[in-house]
Amino acid sequence: MSTLHVVSAAEYLPRDTADVVRTVRDSRDRSKPLTVHGGAPSGDGLAVPDQRAVVSLRRMNAILDINLGRGTVRVQAGARLSDVDRRLGAHGLGLPIVGDHREITAGGFASVGGVSTASHRYGLFIDQILDLEYVDTDGRIGTCGRDHHTDRFYRILGAGGRAGIITALTLDTIEIDKDNTWLSTEADRFLDFDSFVEHAYTEVAKPRDAVLQVGRWVDTASLKVSRPVGAGQVHLGTVRFGQWSSLYPTAPTRSLRARREVGSRARKSLGAIASATSGRAAGMPVRNAAAGAVLFTPKVLTLRDAEYLADTVISSSERGPAFRVSVFAPLSNYTSVFYRLHDLFAGHRERTGCFTVISAMTYGIRSEYLRLESAARGLPDGDHGLITFTCRLRPMSLPSEQLRDIITAIDEICRSENSIRYESAV
């Protein structure tokens, strides 16, 4: 029998499902609500309220079974998808959807839906789940899947842990060698927002045979950097640019491999420099350059490199507080949603100066789960585009009243445009 490890009065580290059951029942006895983390606690500086108990599943990280006949893998909820994918690679298999950061866990991704730059082909991470084991809010173990207790299955998925704690999942795999599948990038760059949105819509609607696709737009405010005393300030100006990247299979050559190696080293160096200068005004151009290394996708790279491209630089260059929102927009309303969200954030920045850099990321979503979710909400059926805006915050410049106004406006955009808000966070 396992022994439940309690780090502190407010943190539990279960090793198996029985530990989770004891944790849930203990929290009920003490009337202490639970917050679930798939991996290690977030390093974003946001404190967990004292009255909440944290359940971290990072020790429930085992790969329980790889079924080569069915082409499936069963894992504990705390297993990192990057680790699972590596293990599958030894068998000529891989996960269709893994997210863009190596720390993402199976249970964490399932609880929020799970999107990636391959979602125009494979849908959400939820679409890859065959069945799951969970512990409900009363501390009882249950199972459900695509073919049994289907209503419960879809109620737990994407619920962020509110409908129960996912403890194990069975996932679909595909036959793929990600380390030796080479991709070539077809990139289109834009200096005006209208052209970028128009092109993005075309690619989302008709992705052709792209393995991965992603569009990114960056809009910086006029930055000011102080010079020595008496020298005033220098204005770095406003930068607006975008890129749409579609990645297609290509045959590797010696020169392509060399170009991939050079590009990989350059991106890692920019990320390290950006991390070292984070928080200082002088580091802002470097951090923008690091973001540019992600924006301007390398010409050639492997599928595994491409899946984790953002993790190479963004994790070390994008520091500090931000407001982030993601919206699933039906293709019929895609451009309208994009414009309205952009105008909302740009307007607040112009009027109050609350935001500095406003960036957007977008790609297509073809998901059976999302179709079911749309039908349940009475929304039109069809494919979607994911639109994510990230607005970097000036310190102490977004009062709670203004935040409420922004969230209310986002909800109105979603309601009137038949869209679904995916997530938002400060």
pLDDT at residue 266 in the model:
54
The pTM score is 0.83
Q: Which of 177, 172, 199, 173 is nearest to 249 (CA)?
A: 177
CB 6 within 8 A of CB 12: yes
Q: What is the DSSP string of 231-257?
A: S-EEEEE--EEEEEEEEEEE---HHHH
pLDDT at residue 380 in the model:
83
Amino acid (one-letter) located at 231 = A
CA distance 220 to 160: 32
Sheet holding 5-8, edge to edge: 5-8, 11-13, 53-56, 34-37
* C-alpha pair distances (Å), 286 with each of 215, 238, 265, 309: 22, 15, 16, 18
Phi, psi of 107 (to 5 degrees): -65, -40
pLDDT at residue 311 in the model:
58
- For residues 352-368, one letter each, b for 16 or more C-beta atoms within 10 angstroms of the residue's C-beta and e for the rest, the string is eebbbbbbbbbbbbbbe
- For residues 13-50, one letter each, b for 16 or more C-beta atoms within 10 angstroms of the residue's C-beta and e for the rest, the string is bbbbbebbbbbbebbeeeeeebebbbbeeeeeeeeeee
Q: Which of 112, 97, 100 is nearest to 37 (CA)?
A: 112
Q: What is the CB neighbour count within 10 angstroms for residue 148? A: 10
pLDDT at residue 286 in the model:
42
Q: 174-175 and 182-190: which strand pairing?
A: unpaired
Determine the number of helices (DSSP H) and then strands (DSSP E) in the chain. 13, 21
Q: What is the DSSP letter of 332?
A: G
Reduce the DSSP state of residue 317 to 3 states and report it. Answer: helix
Six token digits for residue 179 = 């380390």
Query: What string of pLDDT tens digits covers the 426 residues of the chain?
Result: 455 554 455 678 999 999 999 988 887 766 667 778 766 554 443 343 445 678 889 999 999 999 999 999 999 999 999 999 999 999 999 999 998 889 999 999 998 899 999 999 999 999 999 999 999 988 999 999 999 999 999 989 877 777 889 999 999 999 999 999 999 999 999 999 999 999 999 999 999 999 999 999 999 865 544 445 455 544 445 789 999 999 999 987 776 666 666 555 555 555 554 445 444 443 344 445 445 555 556 789 999 999 988 655 544 445 568 899 999 999 999 999 999 999 999 999 999 989 999 999 999 999 999 998 888 888 888 899 999 999 999 876 788 899 999 999 999 999 999 999 986 444
Q: 53-56 and 34-37: which strand pairing?
A: parallel
pLDDT at residue 366 in the model:
96
Per DSSP, helices labelled H in 329-376 are 334-352, 368-376
pLDDT at residue 162 in the model:
79
